[in-house]
Structure 1
Amino acid sequence: MNGWLLGAGVAAAAVAGVHVIAGHFDPVRPLLASALPDVPKRTLHVVWHWVSVDLVLAALTLIAVALVEPEGTELVALLTAVHFAAYTIVFMLIAAALPGPRRLLELPQWMLLAPIAALAFAGAA
């Protein structure tokens, strides 16, 4: 068993849960209640669900490779680590474009994603 990857998988599962539950209330409900035209509104709704599926599948992948450690575990772990690192970077770049001194705290999701990347990188080594 790879403890680093198991930690990353459990953390990713927790983030997926937070995304599904908290994300439904903020930002999905306000988005669906907005005056945006239907096509962009529904496209963003699909993207939110897409991310939900992505987070759940990434968590399951990390947990599975942590427990079974099949051939190729290191590559899967590395690619999944890069996946979460990319999510982290995107959130930080977009947050950095916000006005104000506390802009990185306006979109704090990166703080949940970065540890998953770090744990997965450690498990890939």
Structure 2
Amino acid sequence: MNRILLAAALLAALTAFIHLFAGGADVVAPLLASSLPPMPKLTLYAAWHMASATLILSSAALFIGSLPQHAIRSAYLVLFVSLLWIVFGAVFLIVGLTQPDSGGWLHLPQWTLLLPVGALGLWGGCPACRQRPAA
């Protein structure tokens, strides 16, 4: 078993859990209670559910990639998922740093979970890293 990818998968699953429960209370409930018109409100609500599905399915993909029998066949999937997590983390970091009323890089701390999953996925899924030196 690829322990680095397993760690990425477990951290991704933890992130999905936090998203579902803390995000539901801190983001979705206020969103649905807001006075936004139905179209943007429901679009944002649907996007939250899309993010939920992405987090859950990508943690499963990283777990499958950690299994020896799937390591080769899932290498590009692991690379894709890892890059997604890095880009998602970068989005939160950049928004936090560039929006004047955002409160800075710690006000949107999602990047602190997203970037490590992506980095672990890249490290653990790197084909060159999996090859053993010739005897």
TM norm. shorter chain > 0.5: yes
Cα pair 1:2 1:69 within 8 Å, conserved: no
Provide the residue aligned with 1:98 in structure 2. 99
Greater Cα radius of gyration, structure 1 or 2:
2
Provide the residue aligned with 2:118 in structure 1. 117
Question: Would you identify which runs of 4 or more consecutive aligned residues in structure 1 move more than 4 Å?
Answer: none
Counterparts of residues 40-119 of structure 1 (less than 5 Å)? 40-70=40-70, 71-99=72-100, 103-119=104-120
Structure 1 distance, partners of 2:16, 2:119, is: 17
Aligned length in residues? 125
Q: Show CA shifts across 1:81-124 (max 9, x none).
A: 11111101111111112337x60001010011111011101111
Cα pair 1:7 1:119 within 8 Å, conserved: yes
Aligned-partner residue type, residue 81 of structure 1 = S
Provide the residue aligned with 1:17 in structure 2. 17
Structure 1 distance, partners of 2:78, 2:87, is: 14
Structure 2 distance, partners of 1:49, 1:85, is: 20
C-alpha spacing 1:88/1:16, structure 2 compared with 1 (3 Å):
same
Q: Where in structure 2 are there 5+ consecutive unaligned residues?
A: 127-135
Structure 2 distance, partners of 1:61, 1:110, is: 20
- Deviates further, 27-36 or 75-84: 75-84
Q: Where in structure 1 are there 5+ consecutive unaligned residues?
A: none
Provide the residue aligned with 2:7 in structure 1. 7
Name the % identity: 37
Structure 1 distance, partners of 2:47, 2:117, is: 21
Provide the residue aligned with 2:131 in structure 1. none
Structure 2 distance, partners of 1:103, 1:96, is: 5
What's the TM-score once normalised by structure 2's chain length? Answer: 0.87
